[in-house]
């Protein structure tokens, strides 16, 4: 008997008896009032929410939310208040110093307030480098939970994507909460 076979035989002889796995049946969370739940989850994550009403100009909503913003970056054609088109920049580092980035979200998750962002611009840095991020989101594009989120077709068709839930935050350093450590200090979701 080789050393390997001897080791494996000893492991088998001293291993506990196999146990059957428990059933993995549970009911994922669902919510009766989707918009209300999403607004609560966004607030809990530290994000701001604006529900766009009929006749509201999205550019005015952005300007109202960030009146001090000098540099607004977006490649969305309806964002006429943008001062920078990130798709025209060769180097994503040129986005450094951007006050507000405006992007479109694919869908939102009710249970945790996350929004799936799919890269639709040249530089994914637009998700992380601005001081504030504005996400435009269709109010009908809400799913109850992460189980439904992962079943969405958007997960099969993207070069880069990420979930965003409120401003960037960490509490790794001396257990002190730091906002904006790795991304935007402020996030506003405009539900259209």
Both tokens of 134, joined, read: 């504005």
Q: CA separation (Å) from 99 to 74, 133, 134?
A: 11, 9, 11
* Residue 27 to residue 103: CA distance in whole angstroms: 33
pLDDT in tens, 80-130: 999 999 999 999 999 999 999 999 999 999 999 999 999 999 999 999 999
The percentage of the chain sitting over the pLDDT mark of 70, rounded to a whole number, equals: 99
Three-state SS for 44?
helix
CB atoms within 10 A of CB 44: 12
* Residue 23 to residue 14: CA distance in whole angstroms: 27
pLDDT in tens, 14-24: 988 888 888 88
pLDDT in tens, 55-69: 999 999 999 999 999
The reported pTM is 0.83
> Counting beta carbons within 10 angstroms of the beta carbon of residue 92, is it exposed (0 to 12), middle (13 to 18) or buried (19 or more)?
middle
Cβ(35)–Cβ(142) below 8 Å: yes
Question: Rounded to a whole number, what is the largest CA-CA distance in the chain?
Answer: 82
Instruction: Pick the closest to residue 184 from 44, 36, 87, 48 (CA basis).
Output: 48
């Amino acid at each position: 008997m080789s050393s390997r076979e001897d080791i494996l035989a000893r492991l088998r002889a001293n291993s506990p008896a196999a146990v059957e796995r428990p059933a993995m049946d549970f009911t994922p969370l669902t919510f009766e009032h989707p918009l209300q739940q999403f607004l609560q989850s966004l607030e809990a994550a530290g994000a701001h929410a604006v529900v766009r009403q009929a006749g509201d100009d999205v550019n005015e909503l952005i300007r109202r939310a960030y009146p001090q913003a000098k540099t607004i970056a977006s490649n969305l054609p309806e964002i006429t208040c943008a001062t920078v088109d990130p798709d025209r920049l060769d180097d994503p580092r040129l986005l450094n110093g951007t006050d507000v980035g405006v992007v479109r979200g694919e869908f939102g998750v009710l249970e945790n307030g996350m929004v799936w962002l799919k890269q639709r611009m040249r530089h994914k840095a637009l998700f992380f480098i601005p001081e504030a991020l504005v996400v435009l989101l269709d109010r009908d594009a809400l799913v109850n939970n992460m189980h439904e989120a992962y079943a969405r077709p958007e997960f099969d068709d993207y070069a880069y994507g990420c979930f965003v839930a409120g401003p960037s935050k960490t509490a790794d350093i001396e257990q002190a909460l730091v906002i904006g450590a790795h991304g935007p200090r402020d996030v506003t979701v405009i539900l259209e």
